[in-house]
Chains A and B, each alone.
Chain A
Amino acid sequence: METISGARALMKALEKEGVKEVFGLPGGANLPMYDELYKSNIRHILVRHEQSAAHMADGFGRVSRKPGVCFATSGPGATNIITGLATAQADSSPMVAITGQVPVNMIGRDAFQESDIIGIANPVVKYSFQPRHASEIPTVVKKGFYIAETGRPGAVLIDIPKDVQQNEAPMEFPDEIKIRGYHPWTDPDVTAIEKAITLLLSSSKPVILAGGGVIISAAFAELQSLAEMLMIPVVTTFKGKGAFPETHPLSVGPIGMHGHAEANKIMAEADCVLAIGTRFSDRSVGKFDEFEKNLKIIHLDVDPAEIGKNQTTSVAVVGDVKASLRIFVRLLLQKATKKSEHNVWFEHVTEVKEYWKQNLKLHPGELTAAKILRKLREVLPHQSIVTTEVGQHQMWASLFYDVIHPGTFFSSTGLGTMGWGFPAAIGAKAARPDLPVVDIAGDGSFNMTENSLATSVLDNLPVIVFLVNNYTLGMVAQWQRTFYDRRMIGVDQKHCPDYVKLAESYGAQGIRVGNLDELGNAIKAGLKSDVATVIDIPIDPEEDVLPFVAPGTSLKDMILPS
C-alpha cells in the first residue's frame, strides 16, 4: 500500500478506469485535483462554462458507452453542472462528475463557494458520494464508475472536500467491489420470452417499438435479426431513432409528438407491440390510456421500475435488452419460425409508408427543413455521428434526417436541454476522433453554449454546427402560432448575433449559405476542416414542424400540414 494524497489517488483511480480525458474548469476547491491532473497522463479539455463540461462528458459517454468525466469546482462550479447531470440522468447516459468541495470542517458554515451539491443534485443523479477521508477515494471512484455504467446507466456525482484531496493516506485500489443494495442485471426470464413470442406470433398487426435502451446496449444486430425473422415493422421512440437503420424496408421511423406520420399511423393500428428499452414517455406515446387501448404490450427493459409505470403490460421481460433479444432470436431459430414477406400487414405498412412519402405536404422554398436535412444526409458519410440541440430543428432532424448506421444519432430527449448538442458533439468527437461529428442546431439552442467554440478550436476537436437559423425560438413561436392566436412574445432573436463573425472570432470557420449547392459545399468544407465549422442556414421563420400530435392527445389525432 502506498501513501499518497487523495488527489493523486483520484488520478490513479481514474487512470485505472481507463479515463484518457476529462472535461472541466478549475477553481479554488479543486486545485489539488488539477495539480495532480497536471502531473498525470490524462488530457484536460478546458471549457468556458461547467455546464458544457457536463454535456461534453455526456456526449462522450453516449458514444463510447463508457462514463465521460467532468471536473468542476465547488459552489457555482458545481451548481453549473446540475443541468448536465439532469440531462445525462434523464437519458440514461453514463457520466461521472467530480466536484471540489470546501474543507470538511467548513461544510455547513456557509463558507465561500460552498454549496450543498449532494443535496441539490440528489434528484438528478443515479448516485452520489462525498468521501470524508482520503483513503475512501479509490473505492468511491471504483463504485462510481460501476454504478454509472451498469444496469440502466446514469449520472454519478463525486464531491470531494479540498482537505480530502490534499490529505495523504495509505491507499488500497480494489479490483472488484460489491454494493449490497445494487443489483444492476437480472437474467431475462425465458418463460416470459416464450410467452412473448406466442403473443407476437398470434397477433395480426404486430409492431416493434425500439427505444433508447436498444442503443445503450448496442442490440442493433439482435433487433434487426428479430425484425427480419418475423417480418415485423419497426417504429422507434425519438430516443430510439437510429436503433434500426431508417432506410430498411421494415423501418417506419419515430413515433410521437413529432413522429413520422406513417409511424404514428401504424402504431395506432397495431394490436401488439414489442417495446424494447423504452419508458413510454408522454412525448412518444401521447395520451397514456389511449395508447394502451386495444394494444397488447410486451415490455423489455433493464429497469424493473419502468414496467407498468406508464403503460399496462401483458408480458414483461426484465433484463439487459441485448441479452433478452438474443434469447428471442435463439428460441425463434429453434422453432424455425420465419414469416414470409407476403403478409397482409407488411404489405399494408409498405403502402402506408409509400402514401406518406408521396403525400406529406412540405413547406415551399429552397432552404426548407426537409431539403437541407436531406442534403446533409446525402453528403455526410454513413458512420458520422449526429447530435442535436432542442427545438424545431431537432424534430425536423427526426423527420428528415435518416439514420443509416445504427447508434449514430444522439439528442437530449428526456430533459430536452437546449445547448446540449454542441458540447455533446465535442465530447463525441473526443470519443471518436476518427469520425465526422455534426451538431444539428437551432439558433436559440446554439446561443446557450456557443462559447464551446473555444474548446472545439483550442482542443482540436473539430465538429460541424449545422445551424438551422430562423433567428427565432422556433418551437415556442410555433406553439404561439398554433395555440396562442399568434401572440408572439419572447421569441424573436432579431438577427443577433452574426454567426459567421461569431465563429471567426473564436478561430472557427463560419459559412453562410444561400442555396442547397452552397450548403453541400459548406458541409464538404466542414468535413475537411481542422477547426469547427458553423454553417449558417437561414430558413423561413414561419416554417412549422408537422405532423404534430398536440400535448395530451393521442397519436391518431395528429395535426397535418394544411
Chain B
Amino acid sequence: MWAILSILVENKPGILFKVTHLFRSRNFNIDSISVGTAQNPEFSKMTITTIGDEKQIEQIVKQLDKMIDTIEVKRLDDKKTVYRELVLFRVKISKASDTMEINNIANAFGAKIHDARKDSIMLELTATPDQIENLQELLSKYELLDMAKTGVAALQRGGD
C-alpha cells in the first residue's frame, strides 16, 4: 500500500536526519520525500510517500507523532488530495525524427521542453508519480541520459 504523509516539524537543524533515521531504524521505507519551509517559517513541512501494509503505516504515523519535534502528522487520503511531483528528463536525440516524436509525447503529457539541442533535449513535467512513470516508460524508447525528481508535495483539498 502506498501512503502520503504530511508532517509538520520544527524548522530546526537536524530534524530531517531524525525523521529519516526513524524510517531506517524502524525498518520502514521512504518512497519519496520533499521538504520546505511551511507558511509559518518556524515550521517545515515534509511530505513523505511510503509503502507498507496497513499495520506498518499506522506504526509509522504513531512513531512520527511520538517524535518531540513533530507538531502534526497527517496521513492524506489520496482521493481527497492534490499531490504532484516535478521531474526533469534529459533524453538523447539520435536521429532527426526523435525531436518531433519527443515533442509530441511532451505535448500529450503537458510537459515543457527545455534546452533543446541537436544531440539532447530536456523535458519538465509536474504530475502525479503514476503519470511520471508513464512518461518515463515512453521515453525509455530513446536513451535517457539523466533524470531528477523532487519527491511528492501534497495538500488536502479544501474542507477536509
Chain A, Cβ-Cβ closest to B66: A305
Distance in Å from the Cβ of A425 to the closest Cβ of chain B? 31
User: Does A492 interact with chain B (Cβ within 8 Å)?
Assistant: no
User: Does A118 interact with chain B (Cβ within 8 Å)?
Assistant: yes
Distance in Å from the Cβ of B14 to the closest Cβ of chain A? 7
User: Does A249 interact with chain B (Cβ within 8 Å)?
Assistant: no
Partner of A122 from B10, B21, B63 at Cβ < 8 Å = B21
Q: Given the complex of chains A and B, what is the CA–CA distance between A307 and B55 in angstroms?
A: 11
Taken residue by residue from 65 to 82, chain B's Cβ proximity to chain A (1 for < 8 Å, 0 otherwise) reads as: 111111100000000000
Whether B69 and A181, one on each chain, are in contact in the complex, defined by CB atoms closer than 8 angstroms, is: yes
Taken residue by residue from 121 to 156, chain A's Cβ proximity to chain B (1 for < 8 Å, 0 otherwise) reads as: 011001100000000000000000001000000000
Chain A, Cβ-Cβ closest to B71: A181
Whether A308 and B17, one on each chain, are in contact in the complex, defined by CB atoms closer than 8 angstroms, is: no
Whether A308 and B59, one on each chain, are in contact in the complex, defined by CB atoms closer than 8 angstroms, is: yes
Distance in Å from the Cβ of A85 to the closest Cβ of chain B? 15
User: Does B25 interact with chain A (Cβ within 8 Å)?
Assistant: yes
Which chain B residues (1-47) contact chain A, with CB distance < 8 Å? 9-10, 14, 17-18, 21, 25
Whether A127 and B66, one on each chain, are in contact in the complex, defined by CB atoms closer than 8 angstroms, is: no
A305 contact set on B, CB distance < 8 A: 59, 62-63, 65-66
User: Does B101 interact with chain A (Cβ within 8 Å)?
Assistant: no
Chain B, Cβ-Cβ closest to A127: B68
* Residue picked from B10, B18, B63, most chain A C-beta under 10 Å: B18
Distance in Å from the Cβ of A335 to the closest Cβ of chain B? 33
Partner of A181 from B25, B62, B68 at Cβ < 8 Å = B68
Chain B, Cβ-Cβ closest to A124: B25
User: Does A180 interact with chain B (Cβ within 8 Å)?
Assistant: yes
Whether A309 and B59, one on each chain, are in contact in the complex, defined by CB atoms closer than 8 angstroms, is: yes
Q: Given the complex of chains A and B, what is the CA–CA distance between A181 and B59 in angstroms?
A: 18
A179 contact set on B, CB distance < 8 A: 68
Distance in Å from the Cβ of A433 to the closest Cβ of chain B? 34
Chain B, Cβ-Cβ closest to A123: B25
The interface on chain B, measured as residues whose beta carbon lies within 8 A of the other chain's beta carbons, has a size of 19
Q: Given the complex of chains A and B, what is the CA–CA distance between A119 and B18 in angstroms?
A: 9
User: Does A303 interact with chain B (Cβ within 8 Å)?
Assistant: yes
- Chain A contact residues (Cβ within 8 angstroms of B): what range? 10 to 19
Chain B, Cβ-Cβ closest to A119: B17
Distance in Å from the Cβ of A164 to the closest Cβ of chain B? 16
B66 contact set on A, CB distance < 8 A: 303-305
User: Does A182 interact with chain B (Cβ within 8 Å)?
Assistant: yes
Distance in Å from the Cβ of A415 to the closest Cβ of chain B? 14
Distance in Å from the Cβ of B64 to the closest Cβ of chain A? 9
Distance in Å from the Cβ of B71 to the closest Cβ of chain A? 5
Chain A, Cβ-Cβ closest to B63: A305
Distance in Å from the Cβ of A62 to the closest Cβ of chain B? 22
- With contacts A181-B69, A308-B58 taken as known, whether A123 is within 8 angstroms of B21 at the C-beta atoms is yes
A304 contact set on B, CB distance < 8 A: 62, 65-66
Whether B14 and A118, one on each chain, are in contact in the complex, defined by CB atoms closer than 8 angstroms, is: yes
Q: Given the complex of chains A and B, what is the CA–CA distance between A303 and B21 in angstroms?
A: 20
Chain B, Cβ-Cβ closest to A143: B68
A119 contact set on B, CB distance < 8 A: 17
Q: Given the complex of chains A and B, what is the CA–CA distance between A181 and B66 in angstroms?
A: 9
Whether A182 and B59, one on each chain, are in contact in the complex, defined by CB atoms closer than 8 angstroms, is: no
Show the binding face of A for B, using Cβ within 8 Å. 118-119, 122-123, 126-127, 147, 179-182, 303-305, 307-309
Q: Which 4 A-B pairs have the closest CB atoms?
A: A305-B62, A182-B68, A305-B66, A123-B25
A-B contact list, 12 entries, CB within 8 Å? A118-B14, A122-B17, A123-B21, A127-B68, A179-B68, A180-B71, A181-B9, A181-B67, A303-B66, A304-B62, A305-B65, A308-B55
